[in-house]
Amino acid sequence: MAEVVVPEPDLKLPSVMKEFPAPDFIIKYRGVIDFDGLYKLVCKWLTNRKFQLYETTHKVKPPEIEIVLDGRRKRTAYKRDRVFVHFHMFKNRDVLEDYNGKKIKKIDVRMKITFSCKIETGYPNYFGWNRWQESRFKMVLQNFLNRYILKKEIDLKDADQLYYELYELHGKVKEFLGMESKASAY
């Protein structure tokens, strides 16, 4: 009598294309700045464009400070925009400057600001439930949607629009730091 061998079930889930990133912007700066004003500028700009803002990282290890802001904006029920602003400051020390007879607290700092953005598809809801991760079939369906049906629309329309929006923020920050003129190429 022959022995029946049952193969192991395939528990490996397929890889799914869920994110469409755009190129990053980086600002490197050394000098005296009003960091509170810069932080408020970035937060106000993101909230005025309907982003929900989360501060995911706030590390203070003197003389180093690291802050990461995560902005999320729902585009449709399937797509959402994500913007990350990463402040990394080295060798910072407090400085008091006179401005119209008032003492203003500023920071003498070496700083790197990184702006990045991406479009997410099939994201989980507020409770962490992701309908696209329930079964293997739904994961394959999501992968097919992202790779063949929605890829051009997301790459050419949504990601491009978000990229130029972030470029505007990049220009505002450079203007605040006094690094360029008031107009940009776009």
**Annotated domain spans of the chain:** 19-124+134-177
Q: Is the pLDDT of residue 181 over 90?
A: no
Q: In the chain, which ranges are E strands?
A: 19-21, 25-33, 52-61, 64-74, 79-99, 102-121
The pLDDT, as a whole number, for residue 9 is 66
Q: Is the pLDDT of residue 11 over 70?
A: no
Residues facing residue 28 across a β-bridge? 112
Q: Which residue has the higher pLDDT, 142 or 182?
A: 142
Mean pLDDT of 103-112: 91
Q: Is the pLDDT of residue 22 over 70?
A: yes
Q: Is the pLDDT of residue 14 over 80?
A: no
Q: Which residue has the higher pLDDT, 15 or 80?
A: 80
Asked whether 121 and 167 are in contact (CB, 8 A), the reply is no
Q: Is the pLDDT of residue 12 over 80?
A: no
Q: What percent of the chain has pLDDT over 70?
A: 92
Please name the helix (run of DSSP H) or strand (run of DSSP E) that holds residue 165, with its range, or none.
Answer: helix 159-177
Average pLDDT, whole number, for the chain?
89
Give CA–CA dist 62/112, Å, rounded: 16
The pLDDT, as a whole number, for residue 124 is 85
The burial class, CB within 10 Å (0-12 / 13-18 / 19+), for 153 is exposed
The pLDDT, as a whole number, for residue 1 is 61
Task: Match 């598809």 to its residue by tokens.
Answer: 121
The pLDDT, as a whole number, for residue 182 is 62
**pLDDT tens-digit series, residues 113-150:** 999 999 999 888 777 788 888 888 888 899 999 999 99
Q: At 88, give phi and psi (nearest 5°).
A: -130, 115
Q: Which residues contact 66 (CB under 8 A, 6 or more apart)?
A: 57, 58, 59, 86, 87, 88, 89
A 10 A CB-CB count for 33 gives 20
**pLDDT tens-digit series, residues 26-67:** 999 999 999 999 999 999 999 999 999 999 999 999 889 999
